[in-house]
Amino acid sequence: MNNENNRGQWASNLGFLMAAVGSAVGLGNIWGFPYKMGANGGFAFLIVYLVLVIFVGFATMLGELALGRKTGLGVIGTYRMLNKKFAWVGWLGFLSGFFILSFYSVLGGYTLRYAIGFLMELFSEGAGFGGMGSGEFFGSFIINGGANLLFHGIFMALTIVIVMGGIASGIEKFTKIAMPALLVMLVIVIIRSVTLEGASTGIAFMFAPNFSAFSEIGFMKVLKTAAGQMFFSLSLGMGCMITYGSYLSKQENLEKNALIIPIADTIFALMAGLAVMPAVGAFMSQGVEGISFGAGPGLLFVTLHQVFSVGMGGFIGNLFGFVFYFLVFIAAITSSISLLEVCTAFFIDSKVQKGQVANRKKITIIVGLVIFLIGIPVGLDGLGSGVAGGATIDIPAVVFGMDEVRVAFDCWLDFYDMISEGVFMPLGAILMSVLIGWVLKTNIVKEEVEASDGIKMKAYAFWDFCFKFIVPIGILFVLLGQLDDFFGLGIF
């Protein structure tokens, strides 16, 4: 695509890889992977996760990249071009990105607030967190609607500015700087984490062979958690990889790229684990209160705050606290720009297909502003304890064959999460796998891979088998796991 219509194209394959890996590496890696590993048996969770990446992640990634490059369109346009009857599958991906970014931006604002907090503590004790403990500060911060909206707005504004710049001059230029910087910061934190006294406890938790979680927690529960983490971590099912793939030239090797992105994402996830778990293990072994592997979602904002402020303490603790939360903030931004691009690309494509010149800046600002407004209830409800209250919906009897199932969500974040990650994403991905594997046939992907000069698809037989059989089953586990979590169906 040319610059005249403002759709753009990646300036280099390296730039594409930095952006695609950046999309995959976000809060799901730095936050989700460590806490889910901690709550699901460590090593046992890791093994299941790696198997799923090999048999489900690679195949799905290649399918999405190939569809995007073949059509040269975003997620809705891609499915519409394949068959007008399937356009609604594209809408599932579009709406997933839309609702995810509306709450992701609020969480991204949290990470910025913590980075600034530790930076302020470097210069004046108590300036960043008011002398409060980690749990007390987090509790007071999430109910401060004004502060939440301020940081939600800053995070969203930064995302908009980057996407306004376009593909090569905005997203690519930013991620080519951000991803190496993220890697360096992560290495710095890892070095400090693994050299703490007692860090071996956390390292052993991650890597020492131990499958007791399969009996204590249940294999199926570990499987569905690992499947969900793999799926969401790789940015699958939300249109990001289809959209990013649409900006690729025909000269790039799709099969190689589809291997590199999941491998890089998994390496970052393991590095995030090494940045977090050894430090948690070290201070657990030293008897510091409020620290455990199974801290759950509170691991990032409560447990790790405790690790830096109490476990390490002083100037060093504040310095590493700042570096860590700033790297989490960068990781969140690299993911948020891909989510906004999914939404923006639809409107740009619509203009281009009508023969009109698309004003990327105007479209990005309008779409970003709407997403910001949709995220306001998340910023105000304090994860269920603030001024906006929670969200409650009734599920009619016909859904579950019961008189009535009332599902009360503690907060708007959970409600948006249920719509997007709970239903739209995995449902869209299952439909995609069935569409490519059984309706259009997998040759459509093989032909696109081999559309690059001199490139032959090397692992077609493996990919074909995975995509037709293993991918639908793997993503079905994701869908059932999400429905089980949200609606308490007792499946697992």
pLDDT in tens, 117-175: 999 999 999 999 999 999 899 999 999 999 999 999 999 999 999 999 999 999 999 99
Report if residue 397 sits inside a domain: no
Does residue 230 contact residue 56 with C-beta atoms inside 8 Å?
yes
What pLDDT band is residue 410 in, cutting at 50, 70 and 90? Answer: low
- Which two tokens mark 92? 């599932």
Report if residue 374 sits inside a domain: yes
Calculate mean pLDDT across residues 95-119. 96
**pLDDT of 8:** 81
Question: Domain span at residue 211?
Answer: 3-382+414-487
Report if residue 406 sits inside a domain: no
Whether the pLDDT of residue 483 is over 90: the answer is no
How many percent of the chain have pLDDT more than 90?
70
Higher pLDDT, 384 or 167: 167
Whether the pLDDT of residue 409 is over 80: the answer is no
Report if residue 407 sits inside a domain: no
CATH number of the domain within which 108 lies: 1.10.4160
Report if residue 114 sits inside a domain: yes
Report if residue 395 sits inside a domain: no
- Which two tokens mark 167? 């593909």
pLDDT in tens, 283-304: 888 877 777 777 666 788 988 8
Q: Model pTM?
A: 0.92
Minimum mean pLDDT among 90-99, 289-298, 309-318, 473-482: which range? 289-298
**pLDDT of 411:** 80
Whether the pLDDT of residue 230 is over 60: the answer is yes
**pLDDT of 285:** 85
Domains: count for the chain: 1
